[in-house]
Structure 1
Amino acid sequence: MNKKEIARQYISHLENGNVGQVVALFNQNGMVDSPLYGIKKADEFYRELNNDTSNSELHLKGIFEDNESNDLAIYFTYKWTLKNNQKVEFDVVDIIEFDNQNKISKLKIIYDTVTSRKLVEQL
């Protein structure tokens, strides 16, 4: 699979709450840097996110590949329904760093947390 195919799979698995399949896209040391949850191992981050989520809808807006590095950016809208049925919608950019086997080594999430932070704190 090429990087763009992996990015599309990532979006699909994330939307469907398939934590195991999302984590399988990462290498064994894969890390996630989230403005809301901090820096965590991929399996820990996605389990925690899944525990806080009752539904996710993602709308992919674009995939941008850097031909001079092993990095790729995904731009999408995230409609997030938390376990307490509070809803928030925001645009996200995920910066993905791949290793030499096209496994994700690091994923940095970038979005405005002003609304979502308050809602997560209420969980």
Structure 2
Amino acid sequence: MSLARAVVSHLVDSYLAALAAADIEAVLDLFADDGVVSSPLYGDLPANEFYPLLFADTAQSVLTLRKTLHDIDGADATVAFWFDFAWTLADGTPAPFTAVDVAELNDTGRITHLHIVYDTHPIRAAWEAQQQLSSTSA
């Protein structure tokens, strides 16, 4: 498979825009039907389960792309994008971090598996506190 660089750029730009807008439909359109997300906080989940959870935990997201890296000429296309995620949790707590997302793509350019990589230590306590509040108010 060989995906054009323009397709990769569109994928990354579309993903970050959908993430910032908390647009579930737009983000899921970038995934294969059986796409999976591996997240340090949420674990391994189907994309259609992960994003509703993430967006429910989010008041605001501001994303700033640093760099895109890709291997699109081989049989298994892979795109990595390094970005700053100025995340504000649903309770208003800032939880910013820098991440690298590694996307494995199928032959149509849709994400089959997204691996999210970042250090959770600086934000884990705030995220866990919000999870406790959410579970007691439910």
- Describe the superposition over 1:74-94 as per-residue Cα deviations: whole angstroms up to 9, x where unpaired: 000000000110002111000
> Among residues 64, 80, 83, which one is paired with 1:76 in the alignment?
83
Q: Name 2:103's counterpart in structure 1.
A: 96
- Describe the superposition over 1:10-56 as per-residue Cα deviations: whole angstroms up to 9, x where unpaired: 01110111111101110110000000100000011000000000000
> Among residues 114, 124, 127, which one is paired with 1:120 in the alignment?
127
Letter in 1 for 2:101: D
Taking the TM superposition and a 5 Å limit, the aligned residue runs for 1:62-73 are 62-66=67-71, 67-68=73-74, 69-73=76-80
Q: Name 2:135's counterpart in structure 1.
A: none
> Which runs of structure 1 show a deviation greater than 2 angstroms over 4 or more consecutive aligned residues?
none
Unmatched runs of 5 consecutive residues or more in structure 2? 1-5, 131-138
- The DSSP-based 3-state class of the residue aligned with 1:87 is coil
- The DSSP-based 3-state class of the residue aligned with 1:2 is helix
Larger radius of gyration: 2
Q: Higher helix fraction: Structure 1 or Structure 2?
A: 2
Letter in 1 for 2:32: N
Taking the TM superposition and a 5 Å limit, the aligned residue runs for 1:1-123 are 2-66=7-71, 67-68=73-74, 69-123=76-130
TM-score by length of 1: 0.96
Count of aligned pairs: 123
Partners in 2 of 1:102 and 1:16 — Cα distance?
A: 22
Unmatched runs of 5 consecutive residues or more in structure 1? none
TM-score by length of 2: 0.86
CA RMSD of aligned residues (A): 1.1
Q: Higher strand fraction: Structure 1 or Structure 2?
A: 1
